[in-house]
Amino acid sequence: MFIFKRNLIIFFIFLIIITTFILKISNDNFISVDNFSLETIEKNEYKFKMAKEIKEKWKVKKKDLIIGLLELDKYVLENGDIYYIIHYEPIKNVKENLKINLSFKFDDFNYHYIDYKDKINYKDPLWIHKEKENPMPKASVFIDSKEKSCFLSYTNVFNNKKKGVREEDIDLSTSIKMNKEKIVLSLPNKNNTIVEQWGIISKENLVNWDNKEITDLLKRMDLNRVRKWGYDGLYYKVPKSYYPSNSKSFWRNPAFHVGNKFLDYNVRFLKDFSIISLYTALNTQNKKGIWFSSPRSEWLYDDYNIDGPFYDTRFNTDAALFLIRGFRKYNDNLLLKGAINYGDFFVEYAKTHNFKTKSKGYLVWDYANKDFSIIPNHVSLNHLVNEINFLYELFIDSDDEKYLNIALKLKLAIKDTAKDWIKENGDLHYAHLVNRGYGLKDYKLLTLKDLQYSQSLFKKVDGKVDNAFNLLIDNKEKYLKEKKIIN
């Protein structure tokens, strides 16, 4: 009896400590400003199964002059962790930076950040580990202390470019400043820029730094200089084939690949980020149920006159599969509803934007413009197979046969054309072309993995694998073995 009472007391003490911590970092004074005034525009709260979201927006004023618009998007996660992102758009050029105070402190701490040596890339960076130090580096940092653990990005400054592209101004970007009672952010006031800073704060360790698998994964999924997490999702370096593009520019990729990868792990930071990514995917899904790519792809523009924003079936289907995986892990019906919204859109898209095969299967076009005009374009095998996989998965969770019926139309198209996809050297063609021929260089492994995934779904739903898919898999594997790409 004594042991039971003692354990009960310990439990309640622990609960009070956790509650105090959450209240301390999630109250209305989470951020404050000393050198300018804030005038509230709006404040809204939203409840999800795994988090509560609070969104606030202010006018930043110097006396009566409005110099910018400031937004805070904050999640209080079910596990007690706090995620936030600050988004600032200056509308006046002012020499003095906007100083934002974050209302939490660290006493003794150490931190880790990524160093790239000579070239910014995710292949060979190093983790740098340092003890308490000021000034902090101009880098995103993982901070650990006895009381709490957090991830804090540096303050990113981007120049606004056309078509939703943002160009990083690393010289104007600033590092965080650690004071005894608070963390201070310095946001430049330069017109036509976007300024963002984000973080995750936890009472528990976010990362086990002795786990090499996780530390290597964090380097590969780099959220510092290689990729940028933004107010509305994940930003990638703009490819040279997109417009506008330069070495410093980023675009919002609709697919949420990093969050999807992190779903496979129960490490605190990875789990938090995957939940944030899932709800950001929901919040950025438009009324049609899709996510546009905003830049111009020079290839699509030159070949088909498809300009940005455009619809990309691969990235959208990846995002919808991410929602399904999130639903299965966290059992939040809103995530399944988001996947269904995309599925309903895709069912209608597939019926009207396709090449029909001899048995009336659908080779669904990879891309469409923002108006979904009937513009025939190529059909990539990886896009088509990925769409089948999504529709099968959605059928499993929704039990709605309309998704399976469209999946069977796409599957039929591959069965009709299976031999045509195989090159003389055994590799697979990348795409079915507008002239009804086949061509372009396929990915090394992506299409193969998609095909193998399909077979597992066919066995689960149909009770057997498909011979046409086996033919494609066998040829691809044989080719890759000959090239010593796989064993």
Per-residue pLDDT 10s for the chain (487 aa) are 545 555 555 544 444 444 444 434 444 578 999 899 999 999 999 999 999 999 999 999 999 999 999 999 999 999 999 999 999 999 999 999 999 999 888 878 999 999 998 777 777 789 999 987 667 899 999 999 988 999 999 999 999 999 999 999 999 999 999 887 889 999 999 999 999 999 999 999 999 999 999 999 999 999 999 999 999 999 999 999 999 999 999 999 999 999 999 999 999 999 999 999 999 999 999 999 999 999 999 999 999 999 999 999 999 999 999 999 999 999 999 999 999 999 999 999 999 999 999 999 999 999 999 999 999 999 999 999 999 999 999 999 999 999 999 999 999 999 999 999 999 999 999 999 999 999 999 999 999 999 999 999 999 999 999 999 999 999 999 999 999 999 9
Q: Residue 244: is the preceding peptide bond cis (ω within 30°)?
A: yes
Q: How far is CA 32 from the centre of its chain?
A: 29
Burial (0-12, 13-18, 19+ Cβ within 10 Å), 455: middle
Strands 310-312 and 249-252: unpaired
The CATH number of 30-263 is: 2.70.98
Q: How far apart are CA 480 and CA 487, in angstroms?
A: 8
pTM: 0.92
- Confidence at residue 330, expressed as pLDDT on a 0 to 100 scale: 98
Q: By three-state DSSP, how is residue 77 classified?
A: strand
Q: Report the Cα–Cα distance between both ends of the chain, in Å, rounded.
A: 61
Q: What is the CB neighbour count within 10 angstroms for residue 126?
A: 11
Burial of 359 (0-12, 13-18, 19+ CB in 10 A): exposed
Delimiting residues of CATH 2.70.98 domain(s) in the chain = 30-263
Cα–Cα dist 166/301, whole Å? 20
Q: Give the separation between CA 267 and CA 216, rounded to whole angstroms.
A: 13
Q: Quote the pLDDT of residue 111.
A: 94
pLDDT of residue 29: 75
Measured distance CA(288)–CA(60) in Å, rounded: 34
CATH 1.50.10.20 residue spans of the chain: 296-482
DSSP string, 160-227: E-GGG-EEE-TTT-B--EE-SS-EEEEEEE-TTEEEEEEEEEESS-S--TT-HHHHHHHHHT-TTTTE
Question: According to the model, what pLDDT value does residue 117 have?
Answer: 80
Closest CA to 71 of 86, 61, 52, 83: 86
> Residue 475 half-sphere exposure, CB side, CA atoms within 13 Å?
19
pLDDT for position 3: 55
Return the pLDDT at 6: 55
Query: Of 433, 478, 336, which Cα lies nearest the Cα of 393?
Result: 336
- DSSP structural state of residue 443: P
Q: Which fold has domain 296-482?
A: Glycosyltransferase (1.50.10)
Q: How many residues does the chain have?
A: 487
Q: Is the dihedral of CA 25, 27, 31, 35 positive or negative?
A: negative
Q: From CA 224, how far away is CA 228, in angstroms rounded? A: 6
Q: Classify residue 8 as left (phi > 0), alpha (psi -120 to 50) or beta.
A: alpha
Q: What is the pLDDT of residue 122?
A: 72
Give pLDDT, residue 16.
Answer: 42
Of 188, 189, 110, the residue nearest 150 (C-alpha): 110
pLDDT at 13: 46
